[in-house]
Amino acid sequence: MGEASPKFWQMGLLGYPLGHSLSPRLHDSALQAAGLAGEYRLHALPPDAPVELERLLDRVRRGEIDGLNVTIPYKQIVLPDLDELTPAAGAIGAVNTIYARQGLLVGDNTDAPGFLADLGRVTGWSLADLRPAGRVLPTALLLGAGGSARAVAYALGTAGWHVWVAARRLEQARELTTSLRKRISAPIHHLTLASLPVLFNAVAPKFDLLVNTTPLGMAPEVAASPWPERLEFPLGAFVYDLVYNPPETALLRAARGAGLSAANGLGMLVEQAALSFERWTGCVASRAAMYRAVSSEF
């Protein structure tokens, strides 16, 4: 008998629209670096296509597809179709990674650990607890209360950070903090973006980290910024913008102009993709190869 053919890995991304996605470049480079044969395909399904979604997930369940990444608008839509969630995905209430285990569909979220890994890389803060030197209870201010904010808030909260969530709509911020208080022991509070000047003028809070989780500043609307005009940045804070296109957003430019250290979200994109790849294949993903694959874009 002849030798069995090597496995051909089938992976992909579920979302809509997907024309801008860098995921194929990231995962194709990871496959090549690991010496694996395979492909990464885009599955652009409109949110009103339940039959097509069921068929796609059935392919994962049967092992025809080894893993799916999930992006807008499906991170929460797919939850009822999954058999189980990892603790992180259950706490965050959203998934970005799907795979099958013994015929069951499992939803995971690698955004949270991906964010923490890159935050440690760009700040030099200890990966053991991600705390700035000398800060017993570090404090972070998150701008936005969507799915990405939930992952970042959960990541920081489980690492022992004091988290503030500021969103345009108070009810959205309140829902996020209320749900996460059941999952993390660290303090978490909410307020509106419009009330940030009042907070700063009243108590001048000490923030070690400012994170933009909104799409404001993303191409083509590169002049937009989530930070209120004429409001000074928190002194000494590190500014992290999940937006990576353009590489320097209006927020990052203003923060650096104010003398603050800052980074964009390209590293988080790579880290969350690498962690998904490792969940599916059991092989270590080459972060260096993945960075090289997308760095030419910017």
Tokens of 174: 């309140």
Strand partners, 162: 139
Residue 155 CB contacts under 8 Å (≥ 6 apart), including other chains: 111, 112, 113, 115, 116
Q: Which residues of 277-288 are buried (b: 16+ CB within 10 A; e: fewer)?
A: bebbbeeebbbe
Backbone φ, ψ for residue 189 (5° rounding)? -130, 165
CB atoms inside a 10 Å sphere around CB 213: 26
Catalytic: 206? no
Tokens of 136: 């017993």
- Amino acid type, 174: R
Residue 17 preceded by cis peptide, ω within 30: yes
- Cα-based torsion angle of the residue sequence 266, 160, 110, 264 in order, rounded to the nearest 10 degrees: -10
Q: How many residues does the chain have?
A: 298
Catalytic residue among 7, 75, 182, 206: 75
Q: Are strands 188-192 and 84-85 parallel, antiparallel or unpaired?
A: unpaired
Q: Are strands 37-44 and 84-85 parallel, antiparallel or unpaired?
A: unpaired
Report H helices in 49-169: 50-61, 74-77, 87-92, 111-123, 147-158
Annotated catalytic residues are 75
